[in-house]
Chain A
Amino acid sequence: LARSIQHTSVRQAHRKYEPDFHDKYGNLVLLGGAAVFTTVWGYVLTQLGMEWGLSPVGRITPREWRE
């Protein structure tokens, strides 16, 4: 079961490792997840027509109410 060092990495004396799932797909998952998140929530927050109940402070201009 002797594990010899790859001849190409003798100078480094470190192992070469087989890429794992995160090495192969990590970037894809990260960017994909971020893309799904931004599209969905961008839509929900702006286009869907939800009432978010935001504060009137700094947003609503008061208007005379007495008839």
Chain B
Amino acid sequence: MLASRAFSLIGRRSICTSLCLRAHGHAGVVKADDFTLPAYVDRRDVPLPEVAFVRDLSAQQKALKEKEKASWTALSVDEKVELYRIKFNETYAEMNRGTNEWKTVLGGVLFFLGLTGVILIWQKHFMYGPIPHTFSEEWLSAQTKRMLDMRVNPVEGISSQWDYEKNEWKK
């Protein structure tokens, strides 16, 4: 009921949506929106898209399409390329082209890793106390000798790295 009122062509006073307004010349058929029609797409796995890239041809292009109906040997290289560009947007080479995006990505990553280092600087300056005396060269040398004398971790650990015959670290 409502539909027949909307599309009625009997008086000019039918209720219309904006779509109906465009359809007045088409016997009550609603014009299809672009997104409902087959679309062009540049994809590696779609070698022949559903429609040509250029939908509305200029007069020059229309003439060229007429010429295409005759023998192709009559076409110049430029004309062949133009025919290609009517049908397709990018070539496979253009479609597959690489970018310089990796530079931005890597540069950004390195920058933010650098910011992490700034955090460490802040921590050392504002937060950490003095380094304990047990880390001084004097203490560590005595500590190390004591560990070696005790044969700490002799199988795979620190004592296994010390040559007790030559009295030096193993090479």
Contact = CB atoms under 8 A, between A and B. Distances in A.
A56 B82 CA distance: 73
B142 A64 contact: yes
A39 B103 CA distance: 19
Given A27-B103, A40-B114, A57-B169, A10 B81 contact: yes
A40 B104 contact: no
For the residues of B in contact with A, the DSSP-based class is helix
B50 interface: no
Contacts of A33: 106-111, 114
Interface string A25-58: 1111111111011011101100011110001111
A26 B104 CA distance: 5
Interface residues of A, number: 44
A62 B144 contact: yes
B142 A29 contact: no
Contact of B124 (A36, A50, A55, A60): A50
Given A37-B113, A60-B140, A14 B104 contact: no
Interface of B: 54-58, 61, 78, 81-82, 84-86, 89-91, 93-94, 99-104, 106-111, 113-115, 117-118, 120-121, 124, 131, 135, 137-138, 140-146, 148-149, 158, 161-162, 169
Interface of A: 1-5, 10, 13-15, 20-23, 25-34, 36-37, 39-41, 43-44, 48-51, 55-58, 60-65
